[in-house]
Structure 1
Amino acid sequence: MSGAWSLHFLGVGNAAAAARLGSASGVFERDGSPLLMIDCGEYALDAYLARYGAHPAALFVTHVHMDHVGGLERLFTLAWFAAAQTGPVRLYVPAPLVPHLQARVADYPGVLAEGGVNFWDAFQLIPVSRGFWHQEVWFDVFPVRHHRPDTAFGLRLPASALWSGDTRPIPETIAHFADADELIAHDCSLRGNPSHTGVDDLEREYPQALRARMVLYHYGSAADGEALAARGHRVARPGLTLPLAPPRRDGDQG
């Protein structure tokens, strides 16, 4: 597929580090323009507005922890009052997350003080399962290991890049979905826990061939990022943009 493709990191921090490192979020870019934002924590939306000068037109949600969806209420306001010019924001949400997202951000009565507006009026909510088309590009969606089953998901742009989302190690899943030399953006902190990958987990669970394609994000501090880099890992910083191979467009996606 023609054009110059890239992955831009709006933020790389975990929930505790988001104020300093930005909420973990990325944007797939085509020819320097934003195609699809991944997650919308409060600080991620700030970074998006600063880089692109307008709110996102399309967004994928990996899971509904507030450091990943805490910017949606503000995005509602921006999108609602600009809807006549921009239309609704396309919001791609894995189907099992829709009830959680509704309860988390959309169920409060009176989204505007004046009334007469539903939260979803500013969005085009598109539930997805194994993947979706956006701007004639196919994206794969897959479950990851973050708390309960079917509450967190990753995203793949075939032959281009994979975004793990918040997860414990999932070597078999990554090997399956990153089978075309994709760049792999992977959750990794200096120390792991029951919901996130630590560097010891990463080095134990993934073969070197996969680790060589990884760039790590969702860590706890700038010092942790330096420590990860000192162990030989490529580490994403806020504002990093990485070139990508053009994605594959095929008819047998999945």
Structure 2
Amino acid sequence: MSWSLRFHGVGNASAAGQLGSAMATIERDGKPWLTIDCGAEGLDHYLATYGEYPKSLFITHTHLDHVGGFERLFVGAWFDEALRGGVRVYCPASVVPLLHQRVGDYPNALAEGGVNFWEAFRLVPVGERFWHDELHLETFAVRHHWPKSAYGLRLPGSVVWTGDTRPIPEVLRVVADRGEVIAHDCGLAGNPSHTGFDDFLREYDAATRARCVLYHYGSPAEARIMREQGARVAEPGEVIALPSPK
């Protein structure tokens, strides 16, 4: 059995049109297993890649470049009887109200009425741990804008996805302690909510940096500069091999 991570997009909010919104799918034997986030541009890439809508997602936080594809996903799920009510949306419990405010709190999900937004999905609020397809995953709070509003995801022994965050070396020492590939938010310049490349170099030791694949940057030029200084930087559509979960 093989595992991989496919980047549907790697750009920050301002670069999503060029680089795609930051979104990825964990694949098992080349097939989608669990998708992370649902940006509009990322969903476009997902559909072009797999020819179908995602059946299971984990939501890191509710900025629109990460959840802006939900309206399209709602329509796709509701009008497909095989999907209706079955698309699993794993969402950290403290993020559920924010997700509802962003994508679900509208008087009529359809102009004709008669359906509530979440009827198209199977919403699963999660805590620090949850099960998906008989495997155990973990969530962890990250440093992005506001406490308990953004989370990362760990498939133990395989991959850690930080989501949007400032550096979290003390967290990764705990949640990435089994040799996992670390997909990490990083642009060339940081800000109060995102990691910059100088932060990345300063906060993480060489062994941790060597396991990181950077995404959520601002342009191909930024990616080139970070690569020239030794970083591994993801490209839109890139698929990387993952260790098997353990």
Query: Which TM-score applies when normalising by structure 2?
Result: 0.99
2:82 pairs with 81, 85, 89, which one? 85
Moved over 4 A (4+): none
- Hey, what's the Cα distance between the residues in 2 that align with 1:137 and 1:7? 16
- Hey, what's the Cα distance between the residues in 2 that align with 1:174 and 1:13? 22
Shift of residue 114, structure 1, vs aligned partner:
1.2
2:19 pairs with 21, 27, 46, which one? 21
Aligned position for 1:114:
112
Aligned position for 1:200:
198
Shift of residue 33, structure 1, vs aligned partner:
0.4
- Hey, what's the Cα distance between the residues in 1 that align with 2:135 and 2:20? 27
Aligned position for 2:146:
148
Alignment of 1:148-227 (within 5 A): 148-227=146-225
Moved more, 84-93 or 209-218: 84-93
SS state at 1:121 partner: helix
- Hey, what's the Cα distance between the residues in 2 that align with 1:212 and 1:45? 29
- Hey, what's the Cα distance between the residues in 2 that align with 1:11 and 1:104? 21
Whichever residue aligns with residue 82 of structure 2, its letter is Q
Shift of residue 40, structure 1, vs aligned partner:
0.4
- Hey, what's the Cα distance between the residues in 1 that align with 2:34 and 2:237? 16
SS state at 1:141 partner: strand
Residue 7, structure 1, aligned to residue 15, structure 2? no
- Hey, what's the Cα distance between the residues in 1 that align with 2:83 and 2:100? 23
Whichever residue aligns with residue 159 of structure 1, its letter is G
Shift of residue 131, structure 1, vs aligned partner:
1.7
1:14-67 C-alpha deviation (Å, 9 max, x unpaired): 000000000001100000000010000100110000000000000000000000
Shift of residue 138, structure 1, vs aligned partner:
1.1
- Hey, what's the Cα distance between the residues in 2 that align with 1:178 and 1:210? 9
Identity %: 59
- Hey, what's the Cα distance between the residues in 1 that align with 2:161 and 2:135? 16
Query: Which TM-score applies when normalising by structure 1?
Result: 0.95
Shift of residue 86, structure 1, vs aligned partner:
2.8
Whichever residue aligns with residue 103 of structure 2, its letter is V
Whichever residue aligns with residue 218 of structure 1, its letter is H
- Hey, what's the Cα distance between the residues in 1 that align with 2:169 and 2:151? 15
Aligned position for 1:69:
67
Whichever residue aligns with residue 221 of structure 2, its letter is A
1:109-168 C-alpha deviation (Å, 9 max, x unpaired): 111011100000110000001021111111110000001100000001100010000000
- Flag structure 2 segments of 5+ consecutive residues without an equivalent: none
1:71-112 C-alpha deviation (Å, 9 max, x unpaired): 001100000011x22342100000000111111110111110
- Hey, what's the Cα distance between the residues in 1 that align with 2:243 and 2:167? 25
- Hey, what's the Cα distance between the residues in 2 that align with 1:105 and 1:157? 27
- Flag structure 1 segments of 5+ consecutive residues without an equivalent: 249-254
Whichever residue aligns with residue 245 of structure 1, its letter is P
1:168-195 C-alpha deviation (Å, 9 max, x unpaired): 0000101110000000000000000000
2:232 pairs with 222, 231, 234, which one? 234
Whichever residue aligns with residue 216 of structure 1, its letter is L
